[in-house]
Amino acid sequence: MGEQGGAVRTAGGEEFLGHPRGLWMLFGAEFWERFAYYGMRAFLAVYVAQAFFAHLGAAEAQEQASLAYGGYTSLVYMTGIAGGFVADRILGYQRSILLGGALMAAGLFMLMAPDLTTFLVGLAVIVVGNGLFKPNISTMVGKLYAPDDVRRDSGFTIFYMGINAGAFLAPIVCGTLIGARFGYQWGFFAAGVGMVFGLTVFQFLKGWLHDVGKPPEGREGFGGVAMVLIGALVLVAPVYFLLSKSDVLGGVLIAMMLGLAAWFVVSGLRHGAEQRDRYVAMLLLFVANMCFWALFEQAGSSLNFFARDLADRSFFGLFEIHYTAFQSVNALFIIALAPVFAMAWPRLDRIAMNPSTPRKFALALVQAALGFGVLVLALQLFAGPDGKVHWAWLMLTYLIHTTGELCLSPIGLAMVTRLAHPGETGLAMGGWFLSVAMGNFVAGRMAALVGSHGGDAALGAAGYVTVFQQLFWIGLVMGAIYFVAAPLINRLMHGVR
């Protein structure tokens, strides 16, 4: 049975450990793709500040690097909307992933160049490739399950463990062991090698998927591949432009989100009142998703600079922890806690205590807020004479953020595949990642405020306290709004939990 028009219960009826065998193949492919992404992300903002903006001074370099980082991470997710459309209508999910992964690998190797122009072109190539890869591998996970299969949330949580297993190893290997010792250019190289491994896993084991992700009927030839490749290479130029024009990028993101909302409203009207309501609910949850990632994605920018400049990283006087190692903490907590959450949701459901999807989103926003409250408390009450706080406070923030992430991200991925019309699942998943893109863009602007408020080691912690207090209140208020609005959103979802 083909998957473009609907879902199958399992890939060819074959299961392993209670889930479709294809889930475990996608787990492995995503492991290496996330190794590549988080390997370079672990030191990207700091590297950009040191390599290209150091002449501006510490605070200005941090501000410019945070804007560049936010622009890149938002574009990475923004292109998912086009990638979902291409997979739905032209290539199918499998070929979209292979083509996107090849472009990402090429871009990662380009980051080794010492000049800013080639570096930005490399980032642009990664952005375009990621648009073809990221939303479509998540969509295929959803296609492995029937719409009413209760294992879906657990399957996405297992898949999320694959993401985070790669994310855990990547900063340690690419940043701490390679980049810090031999130069960050070689850290980018290691990330590129990881992407090549991911493509190899996918190519050799894609038979486990059977018909899931094959091209749409009539699109089996290679003409579509050539057309999409040419389009992707043409798209590199405007992405390169947007990487250096933060204000223009913000306008483009807003226009795309409004256009997407209009598309789903019109599509919902075409498919009937129930689908229209579900799309409205999905769009409301996209807003919550954007707010969450605006808070959470401080991890690669302001929290990374915080780890470098204001965390006392002495490990009981034995050695100093390299700041890039803290980029593995979130993934470590995910690996430890994801099985607990995967088991908890079905058990809570059996006793009618499982929070609805909107309530889970509300819990995630509150936890993101509390993470920043912890650091504000630490800076105000427990800073040492040098203005630094013990690294355990940063670990606690990452722990609270991680539990929030587990209430939102895997649940949100599953939610999109259930609320979307079967013929628009890839586009809807692209919309999910567009909302993540909006969050990342806002995260970069917020992180830039730290530098503008004097948040570096030389000037003290004032910028961090000011901005983290603002993030605390934003998360708390948004969480309360979604907690109160949950019954209304549930009604719009028409039985989808």
Strands 311-312 and 389-390, bridge-based pairing:
parallel
Bridge partner list, 456 = 460
pLDDT tens track for 5-24: 344 444 445 776 667 777 88
Residue 50: partners with Cβ closer than 8 Å, 6 or more residues away: 61
Band of the pLDDT at 218, cuts 50, 70, 90? low
**Residue 187 pLDDT more than 90?**
yes
pLDDT tens track for 258-287: 988 898 888 888 888 888 889 999 999 999
| Average pLDDT taken over every residue of the chain | 84
What element of type H or E holds 20? Answer: strand 19-20
Band of the pLDDT at 349, cuts 50, 70, 90? confident
Please compute, for residue 205, the number of CA atoms within 13 A of its CA located in the half-sphere on the CB side.
Answer: 17
**Residue 214 pLDDT more than 60?**
yes
What per-residue confidence (pLDDT) applies to 12?
A: 41
**Residue 4 pLDDT more than 60?**
no
Instruction: Note the CATH architecture for domain 16-493.
Output: Up-down Bundle (1.20)
Cβ distance 65 to 244 under 8 Å? no
pLDDT tens track for 383-442: 888 889 999 999 999 999 999 999 998 788 778 878 888 778 777 877 888 898 899 999
**Residue 70 pLDDT more than 80?**
yes
How large a percentage of the chain has pLDDT more than 70? 92
Cβ distance 1 to 211 under 8 Å? yes
Cβ distance 267 to 379 under 8 Å? no
The domain limits of the chain are 16-493
Mean pLDDT computed over 54-69: 80
Residue 127: partners with Cβ closer than 8 Å, 6 or more residues away: 72, 75, 76, 78, 79, 107, 239, 243
d(CA 370, CA 230): 46
What per-residue confidence (pLDDT) applies to 473?
A: 96
